[in-house]
Amino acid sequence: MREIFEIRDADGAGRIGELTVPRAGVTVETPALLPVINPHLRTVEPATLESAFGAEILITNGYILYKSKEFRERALSEGLAKLYDFSGAIMTDSGSFQLSEYGEITVTNAEILEFQRDIGSHIGTPIDIPTPPGVSHERAESELETTKARLDAAESVDVGEMLVNAPIQGSTYPDLRESAASHAYETSLDVFPVGAVVPLMNGYRYAEMVDVVRAAKRGLGADAPVHLFGAGHPMMFALAVAAGCDLFDSAAYALYARDGRYLTVAGTDHLDDLDYFPCSCPVCAERTPETLRSLPAARREKLLARHNLHVSYRELRTVKQAVREGNLFELLERRARNHPAMVDGYRALLDDSAALERVDPVSKGSFFYLSTDSARRPEVRRHHDRLGRLSVDGDRVLLSAGDDNSRFDETWRLNPPFGPVPPALSDSYPLTIERPERLDRGGYEAAAAGVARLAEANPDTEFTVAHWGWPESAIDRLPDGVDVLSLGADSQHPDE
Ligand code: GUN
Ligand code: ZN
């Protein structure tokens, strides 16, 4: 049992947790954003991150410091906390990313870990191999063997109180990601970054990103803090948290600002294209795009970076509040509607709803049915699984929204997308669902699938479904032995 990470709240695979960072003497609330500090640029000062944005943790590159004529000695003599004037937790990366970009680095695994220890890093990183998407399984597997060996070697480096990252690689192969994660979890290392996802995120390949994260999660225990390496765009925070990520690092706020790019939860805009700011952070509230464009480049870049950080922290707070209230899926459905690639990411997550169901809390606030996708949420799956185990009392059971039950031993309400609801459960979550009156077919079809589960579990009972204008596609899903009684005209399905 790991003692550094405590989970306080959960929704789907998303959670609010507390990460204890012993060497920093602090705890960090997760999900947390780690702004990337480039020691040579410091686009936004670490002290400002702390005072104006509430940053509890940041990340910087140990390898850049190791190679820096300007900062190496200062980092060694003063330590990172003083060099950066930051009192929170500081994570360092190892140069793996430089390795993947430039093909080589001039330091060994043990040397860079000891260097990170010596500059006072609170969470260090060994040199993993970030295998990109789309390579052969053979290459991904062989590079993963090297990464695993580096993690094993890191266990025997004397790092003192410094926590150590155990990066999980394996390209886009779920079997490799899962095996990488199981191996990492068996080491004594502490934090579990899912690596080499930057190309997926830059390419808006959110479904693959979700598949990679979910595969890694299968190999990790629930007490493993999971970092999504290089994930800094606020449009995907809700999705990544719902998939089970706890930490994010963002270079995007600074890199994008340099090119005049303006982050929003819906995507990326260019300052040149904006006539109005859709944001009321201090940067945007006091200026128009026009006035921001007219500023000298360096000033404009810093202000854009600050907006980018404001929108990122704001989204993270929005996500945390959703986890706390139990409406992360509702938030996710809203965010998914911002971009088709996000719809794919959300659907990839729903494909894993059997696994989500095992960790999703049994009771939350209201379930809002918002689209056909809602019918695939883990709560619906859980109800259907329960129907498959229920035995009903009577010989003749009416499943109905109507009230004529004289000919029947028992009446259960039909509640799309869940389907039949045992009377004793009708007032409990998630059956207190709110849904639109103009329900889509997917909702009725899921309800019919629920009827089928119940009928299969009770082959000796006669079921009658009494419905108000269900679409044919739902009626077709009812098992043959179920009687169907139409209670009213079909007024709700102009698309039938
Ligand atoms: N930063 C972004 N991706 C990665 C990765 O895969 N490994 C390391 N060490 N750093 C990263
Ligand atoms: Zn703003």
The Å distance, Cα 99 to ligand 1 centre, comes to: 10
**pLDDT confidence of residue 97:** 87
Q: How far is CA 164 from the centre of its chain?
A: 22
**pLDDT confidence of residue 100:** 86
State how beta strands 247-250 and 419-421 pair: unpaired
Residue that has been written with the tokens 């925070």 in this structure: 237
pLDDT at 496 > cutoff 80: no
Contacts of 453 (CB under 8 A, 6+ apart): 384, 385, 387, 388, 419
Pocket of ligand 1 (CB under 6 A): 93-94, 96-97, 125, 128, 130, 167, 195-196, 198, 229-230
Amino acid 15 reads R
Binding residues for Zn(2+): 279, 281, 284
Token pair listed for 178? 């899962």
For 388-411, the pLDDT digits (tens) are 999 998 899 999 875 555 667 889
Which residue has the least CA distance to atom 2 on ligand 1?
A: 230
Question: For the residues 310-322, what does the mean pLDDT come to?
Answer: 98
Question: For the residues 167-188, what does the mean pLDDT come to?
Answer: 98
For 106-142, the pLDDT digits (tens) are 899 999 999 999 999 999 999 999 999 999 999 999 9
Q: Would you say 62 and 38 are in contact if contact means Cβ atoms under 8 Å apart?
A: no
Q: Would you say 418 and 442 are in contact if contact means Cβ atoms under 8 Å apart?
A: no
For 400-453, the pLDDT digits (tens) are 875 555 667 889 999 999 999 998 898 899 999 999 999 999 999 999 999 999
Which residue has the least CA distance to atom 5 on ligand 1?
A: 195
pLDDT above 70 covers a percentage of the chain that reads 97
**pLDDT confidence of residue 490:** 52
Q: How far is CA 76 from the centre of its chain?
A: 36
The Å distance, Cα 169 to ligand 1 centre, comes to: 9
Ligand approaching nearest to the C-alpha of 250: 1
Catalytic residue among 11, 93, 246, 249: 93
Ligand approaching nearest to the C-alpha of 285: 2
Quote the DSSP letter at residue 169: -
Token pair listed for 314? 């704001």
Torsions phi, psi of 171, nearest 5?
55, -140
Q: What pTM did the predictor assign?
A: 0.96
Binding residues for substrate: 128, 196
For residue 391, count other CB atoms closer than 10 A to its CB: 9
Token pair listed for 207? 């479904």
Spell out the domains of the chain, with CATH numbers in brackets: 5-351 (3.20.20.105), 366-486 (no CATH)
For 318-348, the pLDDT digits (tens) are 999 999 999 999 999 999 999 999 999 999 9
pLDDT at 82 > cutoff 70: yes
Contacts of 361 (CB under 8 A, 6+ apart): 10, 11, 326
**pLDDT confidence of residue 94:** 97
Whether 93 sits among the annotated catalytic residues: the reply is yes
Q: Candidates 61, 94, 128, 200: which one to mutate for ligand 1, based on the most atoms within 8 Å of Cβ?
A: 128
Residue that has been written with the tokens 């507390």 in this structure: 18
Q: Would you say 495 and 472 are in contact if contact means Cβ atoms under 8 Å apart?
A: no
Contacts of 48 (CB under 8 A, 6+ apart): none
For 208-261, the pLDDT digits (tens) are 999 999 999 999 999 999 999 999 999 999 999 999 999 999 899 999 999 999
